Structure 1
C-alpha cells in the first residue's frame, strides 16, 4: 500500500470519526443541558402523534433522550452501525439517516399512541439495522451479503424491539425506522446498479 493510499484512508477515517462523533456529541450535550438547565422540558420537542406541533419532532426527536442511560444505550449501536454504513460511502450514511428519520418519524406521528411523546435515536438505529440487513439482499454482492450476515449475527436479536413489549418503549419508532432503512437499502441498491462501474 502506497503512502498516498494510507493518507487517503487516514483522511477517510478522520472524516467518519468527525461525523459520527458530531452526532453523538449533540446527543450528549442536549441531554446534559436538559438535565442541568431545562428539567426535561426539551423532550417536549419529540414526536407527539397526530398533532401539528408534534411534526417538529420528526427532526428533533432523534437527538433527544429521556435520561443518561437512554443516551448510553443508543451511543454504541449508533457508532457501530453508522460506521458500517459509512464503510463504502459516507453519503450512504446521510441518505439512510434521513430516510430513517423521515419514515420513522412519520410512522410514529401517524400510528403512535395518543397523548405520548416519542424521543431517542433508536428509530434511526433500527433504520441502520434495516439497511445493513437488507442491503445484501438488494445488491446481491458478496461483500454486502457477508456484512448483512455479520450484522444479523451480532444485532439480529434486537429485532424483537419492533413489537409492542414494554411501556415507555417506542416500538413504533423502531418498526418505522427499520422500514425507512429498508427503503433506503432498496433505493441505494438500484442507484448503484444504474451507476457505471
Structure 2
C-alpha cells in the first residue's frame, strides 16, 4: 500500500497565516468603531443620525452604517470584546468568506430592524452583527457536520448563551431586542446558506 504527500501549493495559507489575518482584521475593525465614536463625540454626536429609522425611507441608508455607529463609548466598549472574539473565530475559515457572512447578516438584520422596530426610534450599534455571528458559529458546525465546528458552537453557547437569550427578550426595553433577534435569526440562516459540504472519509488505497 503506497501513499504520497501532496506538496503545498505556492502561496497557500497556513493555519497560522489565517489566524494572523483574522486577528489583524478584527483588531482593525474594532479600532475603527472606536475612531468613529471619537469622531461622533467630537462633532456633538452628529453621526447618530445615520442609524436606522424604522419604516422611513430616509432611514434605509442606516442599514449599512448603523453597525459601525454607537451611542457613546460605553456602548462601543460593551460590543468590542464579543465582536473581536466571534469575528476572529468566524474569520478563521477565510477572510472573504467571513466578509460575505458579515455582509449578509448586516443586510438582513438591518432590514428586519427597519421593518419591526418601534416608530420614532433610532437603532445603531454592532450588537446585531454580534448576535448574528453568535448564531452563525453555534449552528455552523452542526449543519456542516464538522466535529471542530460543533465543539466551538457548544463552547460559545455555554459561555454566552444565557446573556444572549436575555438580549432577545421583548421585556428588555433598554436595548434593541428587535435588532438582537433579527441578527440572531440572520446568523442562523447565513450558516445554512453558506454551509460547506461535510468532509468525506479518506479513500482507501491499495
C-alpha distance in structure 2 between counterparts of 1:97 and 1:88, whole Å: 13
Contact 2:109 / 2:183 at 8 angstroms: preserved in 1? yes
C-alpha distance in structure 2 between counterparts of 1:129 and 1:11, whole Å: 24
Query: Structure 2: which 5+ residue stretches go unaligned?
Result: 1-9, 202-206
Query: Structure 1: which 5+ residue stretches go unaligned?
Result: none
Q: Deviations over 1:80-132 (max 9, x none)?
A: 01111122222332122112101100000000100100000000000000101
Matches within 5 A, 1:113-152: 113-152=118-157
Moved >6 Å (runs of 4+): 194-197
Tell me which protein shows more helix as a share of its residues.
1
Matches within 5 A, 1:28-177: 28-36=34-42, 38-157=43-162, 158-177=164-183
TM-score of the pair, normalised by structure 1: 0.89
C-alpha distance in structure 1 between counterparts of 2:198 and 2:57, whole Å: 39
Task: Name which of structure 1's ranges 95-104 and 111-120 shifts more when overlaid on structure 2.
Answer: 95-104
Contact 1:65 / 1:71 at 8 angstroms: preserved in 2? yes
Over 3 Å counting, the alpha-carbon distance change for 1:195 and 1:95 in structure 2 is farther
TM-score of the pair, normalised by structure 2: 0.85
